[in-house]
Structure 1
């Protein structure tokens, strides 16, 4: 029989702080892995789109110094 989240939490609270931190990191990593599954594909599509815009001349880059100046003026 599977234990409930509340039961697991109560058991985890009996761990020392270092072990709780390790458990927390492991749980967070599983959530991040699930949420990132489609991210790589989405970024690949976005990168390809931006590269195509640069190659076709649809957009132009600006030097970092100019961008920094624009940002400081805001």
Structure 2
């Protein structure tokens, strides 16, 4: 992601959840022809793939505290 996009993401992450959801939906609508159902189906497939990876030992889950530290250390 470009620096302006990273800065925008940092700013957006400080918004209340309801505003982040609305923003995310507007952004999704701007980049594809997929219906909301198709987008949801893709997210469900991704979640299942990730769960399969964890169960098979191909990836390790990270506690939220560690994930948050990593995410917010980028800024």
Whether these two folds match at TM > 0.5 is no
Q: TM-score of the superposition, structure 1-length normalised?
A: 0.43
Please say which structure displays the higher CA radius of gyration: 1
